[in-house]
Amino acid sequence: MEYPDYSNPNEDNIDLEDNKNANLLDDAKSYDRGYTKIYRSYLTENGRTKRVKIELYASGGVGSDIRDAETGEYYKYKAGSLDEELFFKVSIAIGECKNKLGSHTFFYSSPEQYMAHLLVDDDISDEIIDKWRIRKNIRARIVEEKKKPKSRVIVK
């Protein structure tokens, strides 16, 4: 799988104000206990290897809110509950993730989001993806059923 290279070597886009804002943002992220960054390499269209920084947001332990690994958005669903089945759960346990939570658990909305975010090529078999979709759809139906108002019938 090839990834687009949006950098332009002919364009000097380094702006001091942008650097200052980027540094402020990096400082803010350092206070986020679930934030971490890892580095991945991939081949560009011209055959060169490019190293990129990938930012990740870990979810906490059992009972904490599930967090989108790519965006950092918190969901109303809890880690350790059956609602985990609504997400594609990944554990990165190769020593790269050094967040303050100590968690290596990441939740994605789909296997495709995971593969695109971490620049993974064909890492997940179709069988695993199909099984995940079935589990997710079953759980999504259960969640929707719980949202429906319960009607009562009163017989006189």
Nearest 5°: phi and psi at 101?
-75, -25
* Amino acid identity at 34: G
Specify whether the CB–CB gap between 65 and 84 falls below 8 A. Answer: no
Which has the higher per-residue pLDDT, 96 or 138? 138
Average of per-residue pLDDT across 21-28: 72
Spell out where 21-125 has E strands: 35-43, 49-57, 65-67, 74-78, 88-91, 105-108
Average of per-residue pLDDT across 19-37: 75
- 23 sits in which H/E element: helix 16-30
Q: What is the pTM of this model?
A: 0.74
Query: Rounded CA gap, 40 and 118, in Å?
Result: 8
pLDDT per residue as tens digits for the range 59-91:
888 999 999 999 999 999 999 999 999 999 998
Q: What is the pLDDT of residue 150?
A: 75
